Structure 1
Amino acid sequence: METMLDYINEEQETLETIINSFDITQIKVKNVKHCLILATGSSYNACLSAKYYIEQTAPVYVQIEEPFNFLHYGKIDPSIDLIIAVSQSGKSASTIQAVQKLTQTRKIKTIALTSNTSSPISQVVDEVLDLNMGIETVGFVTKGYLATVLNLMLLGLRIAYQSESIDQSTVKNELLALKKAISQINLVIEKTSEFWLENQADLSKGVRFITIGYGPNIGTAKEFETKFTETVRLPSQGFELEAYMHGPYLEANNTHSLFFIENDNVLNDRSKALKNYLRNDVGNCYTITTEAKTDSKTVGLSIKTPEKISPLLLVIPFQYLAYQIATGKGIDLNKRIFDDFDQVLKSKI
């Protein structure tokens, strides 16, 4: 039986396969200006992580909505000319229902991103983009999360090129930057493993986990929240940097383990200032950064990568730590719980 860690260790090879088989003309997205993305859970977090790459690469505005609430309360902007439905399993009931409702009164191009091209979601859209990572049988998605982020970034590259806002030379440079980042994934896992061994005792005793990020890594912070909640099963939250400073910091105490996501950006200084302020008031402050390691509480990747690509790398330490902390606390992640949940609540088709 494959484990969550097995899939984490397959991430570099999987993403290399995806990018090496990339076809710029696959999926017709010429002249898309306003894109609505529907996604829930880890798929939603992946969309947040890819949004900045898409908007910085292509002349497009990206709106991300959770489909259940949008289905019942949302109002679609008349300028939307593309709907992307993201569901790794392809069985998310709310996403499928939202696509059906939104296309009843107006013809809008629809695309599904899924790892199962014969799943129910494929029956309600115009085109299907295979995530090209196989079926992930472990419920706590990791490989599929990164595959979703990368495929969304590549879709942004398609929009830019097909809309003639970038040329072949720019496409080549973007692909080289993505490939360089992907080639570092195994190194990130190795460095996180070393960090885990140094901090295992404190992390295993943790009872409240918080991660703080900014820019494209707000998605990373939210995926931390999802993954730790699913696996470690203790209070865990991901915050945008400034949002944490407007109230949530008042909760800080010596039982809290704080993670700061940092990369080469002017906001890095503000993140460090917050970390220095809270250092003596919380249990531990950890840093996940693209910069070099400075101390034992830092996962220092020492990688130069554009900020818009950094979510492909900075989420991996949280995936790895979620697995190790949960396992260290005696949680058997291969043992299913709430086994009848989807059947009773009808969240999946």
Structure 2
Amino acid sequence: MATMMDYIQEEQATLVKILQGFVPKKEEKRAAIENLLILATGSSANACLAAKYAMEKLAQITVTIEEPYHFNHYGHLSKEVETVLAVSQSGKSASTIDAVAQLSKQDIYTIGLSSDPESPLAQKVNESIDLGTGIETVGFVTKGYVATVLQLYLMGVSIGYSKGILSDDQVSMIKNQLEEMIEAIPQVIAKTIDFFEKNASIFKLANRFVAVGYGPNWGTAKEFETKFTETIRVPSQGFELEAYMHGPYLEANHEHVLFFIEAPSPNQSRAQLLHDYLASHVGKAYTITTAAAKNPDTLGLDVACEETFSSLLLVIPFQIFSYLGAAAKGIDLRKRIFDDFDQVLKSKI
């Protein structure tokens, strides 16, 4: 039976294949996109949030992310939106499929991104994109998450190229940067496992985890929240930097473990100030950064990358922490719980 760690170990090969297969073309449908609505929930929504900044920067478009169930029942489709992208790794998310079905009645172009080209979602959209991962049998998705982030980056490149914003040379430079980052994944995995082993007792005893991120790593913080809640199964929450400073910090106490997610940015100094202020008020304050580590409480990936793409790598430590942290707390992730949930709640088709 495959485990989360098995799929994490496959991430590099999967991303290399996706990147090597990407050949930008001038496409009218891509060039027409100015306002893109993305429908996604769960880890798919987190991946979209992590990639939103890159997509907007590369393509000079506006990206809006909505929860499909809420949008379908309470939302309003802006007249400015020309294209809707529905993201569901399984392609079976009932709320996403229902929302697309309603949108198909309107004159709007729909794209689906899923791991199954024959999925119910793929059958509902005008254009289906294969995520490129195959079916991930472990419910706590990892490989599919990073593949979604990369595919969205590349969609941003495709739109920018089709608009004439990005030249052939610029596309090559972006692909080279992503390639170098992907090559570093084994190093990231090794560093994370070593860091966890040195801090395993903290993960085992903690009963509240919080992650704080900024820019694209707001999405990373939200995926931390999803993964820790699913696997370690204690209260865990991910916040955008400024949002955390407007109230949630008041709950901080010595039973809490905080993660500060850092990438090169003008906001890095503000995050550091928050870290320094709270470090003495919580049980432990860790920093997860793309830079090299400066102290034992920092997991430094030591990978050169700009903030735009940093979320592709910075999520991997949290995937590993989720898997190893569950084991440290004596949780057997192979043992399924709430087996009848999807059947009773009809959340998947």
Structure 2 length as normaliser, TM-score? 0.98
Match of 1:55 in 2: 56
Is the contact between residue 227 and residue 319 of structure 1 (CA under 8 Å) also seen in structure 2? yes
Match of 1:190 in 2: 190
Superposition deviation, residue 131 in structure 1: 0.6
Question: Gaps (5+ residues) in structure 2?
Answer: none
Distance 1:235 1:294 in 2: 29
Superposition deviation, residue 219 in structure 1: 0.1
Match of 2:332 in 1: 332
User: Helix, strand or coil: the match of 2:31?
Assistant: coil
Number of matched pairs: 348
Distance 2:60 2:207 in 1: 44
**Deviations along 1:173-206, whole A, 9 cap, x unmatched?**
1111111111111111111011011111111111
Pairs within 5 Å for 1:87-106:
87-104=88-105, 106=106
Residue type of the alignment partner of 1:156: G
Distance 1:130 1:322 in 2: 27
Is the contact between residue 110 and residue 126 of structure 1 (CA under 8 Å) also seen in structure 2? yes
Is the contact between residue 198 and residue 296 of structure 1 (CA under 8 Å) also seen in structure 2? no
**Deviations along 1:229-266, whole A, 9 cap, x unmatched?**
00000000000111111111110000000000011111
Match of 1:10 in 2: 10
User: Helix, strand or coil: the match of 1:215?
Assistant: coil
Distance 1:302 1:344 in 2: 46
User: Helix, strand or coil: the match of 1:286?
Assistant: strand
Distance 1:26 1:336 in 2: 46
Is the contact between residue 291 and residue 300 of structure 1 (CA under 8 Å) also seen in structure 2? yes
Which shifted more, 247-256 or 27-36? 27-36
4+ aligned runs moved over 4 Å, structure 1:
none
Distance 1:73 1:126 in 2: 24
Give the RMSD, CA atoms, in angstroms.
1.0
Is the contact between residue 211 and residue 238 of structure 1 (CA under 8 Å) also seen in structure 2? yes
Distance 1:103 1:130 in 2: 20
User: Helix, strand or coil: the match of 2:65?
Assistant: strand
Residue type of the alignment partner of 1:36: L
User: Helix, strand or coil: the match of 1:203?
Assistant: helix
1:286 aligns with 2:279: no
Distance 2:92 2:26 in 1: 24
Match of 2:322 in 1: 322
Question: Gaps (5+ residues) in structure 1?
Answer: none
Match of 1:83 in 2: 84
Is the contact between residue 26 and residue 161 of structure 2 (CA under 8 Å) also seen in structure 1? no
Match of 1:24 in 2: 24
User: Helix, strand or coil: the match of 1:260?
Assistant: strand
Match of 1:109 in 2: 109
Distance 1:284 1:26 in 2: 50
Distance 1:75 1:187 in 2: 45
Superposition deviation, residue 26 in structure 1: 8.9
Match of 1:259 in 2: 259
Is the contact between residue 256 and residue 282 of structure 2 (CA under 8 Å) also seen in structure 1? yes
Superposition deviation, residue 15 in structure 1: 0.4
Which shifted more, 174-183 or 216-225? 174-183
Aligned CA distance change for structure 1 residues 319 and 26 (closer, same or farther; 3 Å): farther
Structure 1 length as normaliser, TM-score? 0.98
User: Helix, strand or coil: the match of 1:112?
Assistant: strand
Residue type of the alignment partner of 1:292: A
Superposition deviation, residue 312 in structure 1: 0.5
Superposition deviation, residue 30 in structure 1: 2.0
Residue type of the alignment partner of 2:340: D
Q: What is the percentage of aligned positions where both structures have the same residue?
A: 55
User: Helix, strand or coil: the match of 2:85?
Assistant: strand
Distance 2:206 2:13 in 1: 32
Match of 1:200 in 2: 200
Superposition deviation, residue 113 in structure 1: 0.3
**Deviations along 1:10-38, whole A, 9 cap, x unmatched?**
11111001101112139741221110000
Distance 2:42 2:202 in 1: 28
Distance 1:165 1:273 in 2: 37
